[in-house]
């Protein structure tokens, strides 16, 4: 599911956003929907931050798993077809 699709049917709330005037002028000239572009950008930032936090929260388990594989190899390696 794309980042913006998961929010597509959610209720909208008006908010104020400040941005550089030349950027806003360019967006208007190019007929870019500012609200949609801002929502897509925020959705992307949320997804990236969630991924970063997940890695931080699970770092110990990931490192432990990597250390196990490094020491013992993959548990089912003998069944690999490649």
Binned at pLDDT 50, 70 and 90, residue 82 comes out as confident
Per-residue pLDDT of 54-73, as tens digits, reads 999 999 999 999 999 999 99
Own/partner contacts of 33-40, CB < 8 Å, gap of 24 or more, are 36/4, 39/4, 39/7, 40/3, 40/4
Helices (H), the chain: 21-29, 34-72
How many Cα atoms within 13 Å fall on the side-chain side of residue 82? 0
Share of the chain above pLDDT 90, in %: 78
Q: How far, CA to CA in Å, does 57 sit from each of 3, 61, 62, 63, 64?
A: 22, 9, 10, 12, 13
Q: Given this model, what pLDDT does residue 64 score?
A: 96
Per-residue pLDDT of 43-57, as tens digits, reads 999 999 999 999 999
The whole-model pTM stands at: 0.73
């Amino acid at each position: 599911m794309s980042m913006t699709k998961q929010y597509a049917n959610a209720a909208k709330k008006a908010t104020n956003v400040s941005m550089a005037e030349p950027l806003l002028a360019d967006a208007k000239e190019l007929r870019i929907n500012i609200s949609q572009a801002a929502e897509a950008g925020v959705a992307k930032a949320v997804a990236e931050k969630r991924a970063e936090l997940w890695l931080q929260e699970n770092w110990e388990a990931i490192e432990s798993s990597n250390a196990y594989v490094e020491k013992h190899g993959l548990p089912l390696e003998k069944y690999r077809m490649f």
